[in-house]
Structure 1
Amino acid sequence: MQTRSQTKYENTIAKYEVNIDFDEASAAWKKNKKSIGNGQYKYICIAKSATKEKLCRREAMKGCDVCKIHAKQQSYF
């Protein structure tokens, strides 16, 4: 004899297959952040350096995606 909770479990059928690559998701999440230790992160500037075409990597201002230097320039992409 089945209990009420057992029949509820049988009636729920998985509709979607979930396939998440957590390593890839973690790398994508960390892409615009810099580790400051103890499991904490800070956002980094998303502007590209004019000379080397690399990301700036300075700490971004609060509420903004860029650092102080690139915020003044207004052309950070």
Structure 2
Amino acid sequence: MTSSVSIRFQSLEAFEKNNDAVMKIIREIGGTDKFVATKSFPPAYSHWALSQEAIDKLKALDGVVVQVSAEDDEDLPV
């Protein structure tokens, strides 16, 4: 099972410190660099299919807030 995930930062400092790590996790473990990002600063990200491994790594980053919504694989966009 994969999960739909919203990722945001608690502060500008958290964004500056962790954004590169968040991008690396999304790209390497998430398998794509295609995801939704808000135009706000710091931005919030939304990814529709992250593994539990990726979610755990994101949650381990200080100042990164991760909201998870479980999805069935059949309901995900292709």
Pairwise same-fold verdict (TM > 0.5): no
TM-score, normalising length from structure 2?
0.21
Point out which structure has higher relative CO (alpha carbons under 8 A, 6+ apart). Answer: 2
TM-score, normalising length from structure 1?
0.21
Name the larger-Rg structure.
1
More helix by share: 2
More strand by share: 2
